[in-house]
Amino acid sequence: MSNIEPSNLKPSNIELGTIPLAEAPATKLEAAYIAKKIAPNNTNPNAPVWVFVHGWGASANTWKPLVDELKSQCEIWLLDLPSFGGNRQAANSPSAVAADIAKILPANTVLVGWSLGGMLLPLIAQQIEQDWPTKTISHCIGLAANAKFARGDNYTVAMPAETFQTFCANFNADPTTTWSRFGLLQAQGDSNRKLVSRQIKALHNAPMPEQFTAWQQALTWLGAIDNRALLSEITTPFLHLFGEGDALVPADAAVAMAGINPLHQTLVLASAGHVLHFSQPVKVAQIMLARVHAKRNKARVAKSFSNAATEYDSVAHLQQKLANTLCEWVPEQAEKIADLGCGTGYCGLQLQRPEREIYSLDLAQGMLHTARSKALAKQQLFSGVCADIECLPFISNAFDALVSGMSMQWCEDLPAVFSEAHRVLKPNGEMVFSTLGPQTLFELREAWAEADIKLGRQGCVHVNTFIELDRVENAAKQAGFVVEQTSREIHVLTYDSVMPLMRELKTIGAHNVNPGQEQGLTGKARLKAMAQAYEQFRTAQGVLPLTYEVGFYRLAKV
């Protein structure tokens, strides 16, 4: 890449207002890459620094709408990529850029990237894992960033290769005009198209003649990066956000991303194009903050149920009974159905009809493998997607019906769940689901609490907690649903002793995954104390009860 003289570069010009700046960069590399550092007055020294990496044809300026939403809550570093903004650092490959950025990152980072910047995130995370053991990336968040930008090598959910090649040729022939047309493409498909176009004109600067060659080289990076293998292996928590109307990165890439790594979250934003942070900065900020500050560890939930997948059906008798009831609520005329939290695929098998198309979604890859095996054994088609109910990788108005059996209780953000469900349902579509109420497992919860008091170990969380069913219903209404039918039931299972009860809970993956769980093995003395406390619930028939409070709901999108 050719070196660019400082006098030919336009410095970043983000308005900072009264937000104090952190100290100036100390090294040459930091001075090249870090355009701005922004810190709130109440910075927590232990909190991660949010580091933002822009896309092709832009600079650190692109983040201004998002910075305005986040600057009071976290320390922010805005980076310029080589040859963009104020960065005159030479770099000859995406890997070299990733190595540079990894070198300057702080000890604890939330890494956010848009478009090309988002495609660099896996490379940066890999550098941190391999070469910087004292540094941590707590989360990676990619906006409009595909695993592969153009189609090829058996990857089809991307821009057609011919379209990308034509764009590169046009930029080589007439960079300024092509860059202007690129701005129109970025705004295409967005319901706030005029606003996005104004923001692009205000915050994205056209290339100077001295930058043409370097920007052309950056385009070749965009076409060369293929992150599929890296994304499948990377352990850093990842959130991928896509715009439903994006003319550059198809929204269907969300499903592909979910398939590449089951621990990654994907979300499609309705009415958004390529520049999500211009179109919906408030929503994007809320989604990112919710992800970073989530209390329940979704990876642990997924692992718990994946581990339980092979033996789940052998003990899930109540779950199957409840699923039979739920399936009766699914409208018979529904042809395209999503089974959210499909588990081992029991509901999907019951709902299968020749005319129906069923998508099975679960957070646990192990559950999907079991569901697929069961479907194939019955010679039925299976379409599985590994994703989170709170972040559905589907386009809007896609399904006639949604069904979710005993999965809602594992969700942390109910407004997000119902907002997403409402989005992907067709008009007049229905959602039917069952979930657990707070009386569920109350005997076990009280027995553990009594044992902890006896042993002086108060404050530990041993049993999953479940929210009030009225709150579930209210969240559905607030998302725009009409509640058409509800039913609440109490089911009581019985056991001869505590140990079979505990083993069964573990076998179905329903053991404790809440914050506050004490780490390490539970000692024999504590188990004995809990078992003794549980005896107070033994019935006249000589058995130990375990209660499940179940709510059934039918919702309509009208």
Catalogue the active-site residues.
115, 246, 274
Integer CA distances (angstroms), 139 to 210, 255, 290, 375, 385, in order? 36, 20, 12, 35, 22
Contacts of 526 (CB under 8 A, 6+ apart): 451, 452, 455, 457
* Contact between 557 and 480 (Cβ < 8 Å): yes
Taking alpha carbons only, the member of 6, 68, 7, 8 closest to residue 32 is 6
Integer CA distances (angstroms), 387 to 175, 307, 335, 354, 390, in order? 40, 17, 22, 26, 9
359-373 CB burial, b ≥16 within 10 A, e <16: bbbbbbbbbbbbbbe
Helix (H) or strand (E) holding 417: helix 414-424
Helices first, then strands: H and E counts in the chain: 22, 14
Phi, psi of 404 (to 5 degrees): -145, 110
Taking alpha carbons only, the member of 404, 381, 402 closest to residue 334 is 402
Give the separation between CA 91 and CA 394, rounded to whole angstroms. Answer: 37
* Contact between 530 and 448 (Cβ < 8 Å): yes
* Contact between 370 and 244 (Cβ < 8 Å): no
Give the separation between CA 282 and CA 450, rounded to whole angstroms. Answer: 45
* Contact between 492 and 441 (Cβ < 8 Å): no
The first and second tokens of residue 407, run together, are: 């999965």
* Contact between 435 and 406 (Cβ < 8 Å): yes
* Contact between 364 and 312 (Cβ < 8 Å): no
Q: Tell me the angle at which helices 442-455 and 524-534 cross, rounded to the nearest 10 degrees.
A: 130
Contacts of 343 (CB under 8 A, 6+ apart): 305, 312, 316, 319, 362, 367, 371, 405, 406, 407
Give the separation between CA 99 and CA 125, rounded to whole angstroms. Answer: 10
Give the separation between CA 206 and CA 176, rounded to whole angstroms. Answer: 7
Taking alpha carbons only, the member of 286, 243, 268 closest to residue 73 is 286
Helix (H) or strand (E) holding 465: none
In terms of phi and psi (left: phi > 0; alpha: psi -120 to 50; beta: otherwise), the region of 132 is: beta
Helix (H) or strand (E) holding 532: helix 524-534
| 400: Cα within 13 Å, side-chain hemisphere | 12
Longest CA span, the chain: 88
> Which residue do the tokens 């989005």 mark?
423
